[in-house]
Amino acid sequence: MNNIDLETLEAYLDGKLASEEKILLENSLKEDASLREELELLKLSREAIAMNSWAELISGTQKSFLKERKKADSKATPLWSWARRIAAGLSFLLVVATVVLFVTTSQNSMVENFYSYQIPVMRGDQNTFSQIQDAYLNQDYELLESLRSQVSQSDLESQFILAMADIENKKPASAEIILKDLETRNSQLEESVFSEEIDYYLIQSLLQQEKYDEAELRLEKILQDPSHRYFKNFTKSDLWKIRILKLKKGL
């Protein structure tokens, strides 16, 4: 440094020099390159000191900003994530529904949903019932059994009543034989005596015997024909229930 000290240069930069001193210094600055350098270095150093604090402030702010942004990014849930959550929720419900269906579906629960056959009764006095029909109406199954041997194979209506009595008496194998026989005769005679009832009660007798494959096929047949009398008695869930029963049987 020359004979002008640092404090004087600082006072000059801060505008604190008396006017005479200022003129003297400015004259020296014009003539002395090293003094100009010293003044410039002082300016730079003072700036650098202030900038150092700014740099610390900026660095700290940037760290906090990036940290907050990272936190906000991790909290933000994109739309696809919501879709995934909904899908996961639905899948969970589906699994729960399947488990409930699996647990609650049983052979009994399915068979019990079938209606017992009711012989059509007319109002007034015109009703004339055969002995077989009369016994069925009175649920006199002993009498029905005693009459069974007397029923002609060609008496399709009475044969059908015997099959219904078998179902009521938990003799599904016998009911199946009669109903299938009636089905064959119908096709041979090109008739349709109780044909839709046969479809319906065959499913019941098959379920009672755990013949689920055949029951499934016969149920599919009804579900494919909206004009079938028993179409509205079933839904696709019944088909699933039969499949579950098949699965359970295999376990």
Residues of this chain that interact with another protein (CB under 8 A) are 6-7, 33, 36-38, 40-42, 44-55, 57-59, 61-62, 64-66, 69
Minimum CB–partner distance for residue 5 and another protein (Å): 9
Q: Judged by CB, which is closer to another protein: 43, or 84?
A: 43
Q: Judged by CB, which is closer to another protein: 51, or 90?
A: 51
Residue 159 CA: distances (Å) to CA of 6, 33, 137, 189 = 129, 132, 15, 16
Minimum CB–partner distance for residue 57 and another protein (Å): 6
Minimum CB–partner distance for residue 54 and another protein (Å): 5
10: tokens are: 């600082």
Tell me the CB-side half-sphere exposure of residue 125, using CA atoms within 13 A: 0
Q: Judged by CB, which is closer to another protein: 12, or 117?
A: 12
> At 3, which amino acid appears?
N
Q: Judged by CB, which is closer to another protein: 34, or 108?
A: 34
Minimum CB–partner distance for residue 46 and another protein (Å): 5
Minimum CB–partner distance for residue 75 and another protein (Å): 17
Closest alpha carbon to 229 in 106, 108, 110, 115: 115
CB 146 within 8 A of CB 162: no
CB atoms within 10 A of CB 199: 19
End-to-end C-alpha distance for the chain, whole angstroms: 101
63: tokens are: 């760290």
Q: Judged by CB, which is closer to another protein: 56, or 191?
A: 56
